[in-house]
Structure 1
Amino acid sequence: MPGEWYDPQGYARDWGGTPGPEPAPYDPVAGGAGWPAAPAPPYPGQYPLDGQPYGVQHPGGPHDVAPTAYAPSPVPVDTPSPQPYAPHPPLGDHPGAGTPPHGSAAAYGPSSGLVEAAADAYERYTGGDARPAAGDRHGREDDHETYDDHEDAYDDEDDEHGDEDAAPLSRAEARRAARARKPTVGVVVSRGLGELFITVGVLMLLFVTYQLWWTNVRAQAQANGAADRIQEDWAKGERAPGSFEPGQGFALMHIPTLDVVVPVAEGIDKDKVLDRGMVGHYAEGSLKTAMPQDKVGNFAVAGHRNTHGEPFRYINRLKPGDPIVVETQDTYFVYKMASILPQTPPSNVAVLDPVPPGSGFTEPGRYVTLTTCTPEFTSKYRLIVWGKMAEERPRSQGKPDALVD
């Protein structure tokens, strides 16, 4: 057609994919090897400068010249066959080098009509968009990014699985690895000692909890039950002063200063009396002492200072003149604290004598003696508190002043 030029090498690249020989640099006026010269107009000034037909050279000076777009035969939709892309030839050192002629085939590689037809066919065939994104003429940037993403994912997977794909160990290496994993004798011994120490520590903690807490709970409950039974027997007239069986409760001891009310039982048996939260009357063998109703004598009792109800824990805080009241079925016997012996060996039984040495008493009388262990939480020594009777008051006359709030 008039005014149209044809590039045989570009046609070969479009359809055959094999680039031809590289043409000479393009000259927009004279053309060049492989590049046809722009056709001259039929006569000067045939077309106006503005809006002149595409591909016509105006006599006023050189302008970009581009061929009329080539429209190849449509490619069948069901058999798209895109060809490899071949880059356009270098542009040479002419004004505007690096920018191909406006509208030329060199600006887009293969013929633009073929590219559009192939892109439309591929889009209909795959349901996607075959056109490259703006700013990415060849559509290769996203491909590189996708490849990099997959490569990163594979690297992460390799890091995650670690040595799963490592070569299997030989038998000798497997035996050496098994021996390395097997604990040594020292490790086994240290583990055993550690478990033993932990077990002993737990047992000691449980024992301390039992001694300091549970024995008090249980003993106080037993002592309260014994006090209730004593008062019930008094109401029935069954606990009159006299001879009592070992472990049998017969009185209540009040120490108002310490807020203590504790049953008094016959004997100092640990299991039957002391560990049940009661105080025991020395009433056996050479340690037998007087009863409160006796006209002369030393009424001596023993009680725990720690654990099992600990009724005598704070008797070291008593001051001279503090009341100690023994309540029986018929009578209140009121003693006044007289003196204290902070520490003495358990073998010093003279503290139970009718006139105990070191008590400050010089003649027979009606005395009371409280004994307990010291220091606290040990039984190495004994703590002794003495008192002297100040009042004997029948129950029918009411409570003594020491028990009246």
Structure 2
Amino acid sequence: MASVLDTLVERGFIKQYTHEAEIRELLEKEKITFYIGFDPTADSLHVGHFIAMMMMAHMQRAGHRPIALVGGGTAMVGDPSGKSDMRKMLTKEDIAHNVACIKKQMQKFIDFSDGKAILDNNAEWLLNLNYVEFIREIGVHFSVNKMLTAECFKQRLEKGLSFLEFNYMLMQGYDFLELNRRYGCVMQLGGDDQWSNMLAGVDLIRRKENKPAFAMTCTLLTNSEGKKMGKTEKGALWLDKDKTSPYDFYQYWRNIADADVQKCLALLTFLPMDEVRRLGSLKDAEINEAKKVLAFEVTKLVHGEEEAIKAKSAAEALFGGGADMSNVPTAVISKDMVGSAILDILTAAKVIPSKAEGRRLIQQGGLSVNNEKVTDINMVLTEEHFTDGSILVKRGKKNYNRIVIE
């Protein structure tokens, strides 16, 4: 039987294994239960989570059972991995709201019907733990000396690491143990920044249960220069269309560097690898066709085919000379704002995050209205600017918004 591991390796997912030979044999011969954890630190997943969801989907398609674990308990502490400072403390109400939002998003990518996958929340077992019992049962298996060598802690020691965060590794290790006991879960998958925490869970199961347990990490989504992808001028590239519009989402992938196209096609779409390699090998102007395929396929997976078609149509209207502007991201302002300063209108319409950002754009020659460059930061938008009741605002080279009078 062919192993899903071959697919994951070919597409570039796998970064590290705990026991490569054993994992390969296991995935070839058995159907296993595995898990990936998602801490609800926001009310939406972002594109960094999407790569983990794709890895999970490939595993499910090969017949393995995923557990999507939402960290309602671990979010009360906060993961120090990859953070230079302590995370913002969330209230129970914030976490509960975020959990509900994330659960809805996960159901787009993973089939939870008929027991094909499990959705669980570690608040179920973490929030009611007796601390003394937990430290006696779990803490005894963790060496402080060894923990301090973990990358997630090492980089924080100079700035300061709270004891609260120091507990995170124990809690994540305990999650794996609990899922092993409840569902027979034998493998954890996750981003490579979670390697230390994942090793802790594998080791804990082997010590406590005297059973094999495994972990594989997924490569982080980085560009050809090694920098994390998924950052926009407005912040993270969210999977929630109210936080990042399908058009902006589409445009992000449409505008990535040529060198990143093949990698993103392999990791973020289900296109066959022969087609991925063909598209990735295109050069010069032809690579734009590959970027259009990438943008459409990723937007379709995240937002559905209808929204992907709208985003594609909007991009073609703006950049291809088409006439249909109905799918361009649109903001509405009240009629009494006409005659106000441009920075007031753009801020009210949430086209720019702040007046300071608007001033910077104008001073750098990066803002246009109706294809006319704006040079005056005190410019007033009058009725003459609102042709047919709307204006077209361009930020930078490729970011467009319509503003319509209500």
Normalising by structure 2, what TM-score?
0.17
Q: Would you tell me which structure has more helix in proportion to its own residues?
A: 2
Whose relative contact order is higher, 1 or 2, with alpha carbons under 8 Å and at least 6 apart? 2
Which one has a bigger Cα radius of gyration?
Answer: 1
Normalising by structure 1, what TM-score?
0.17
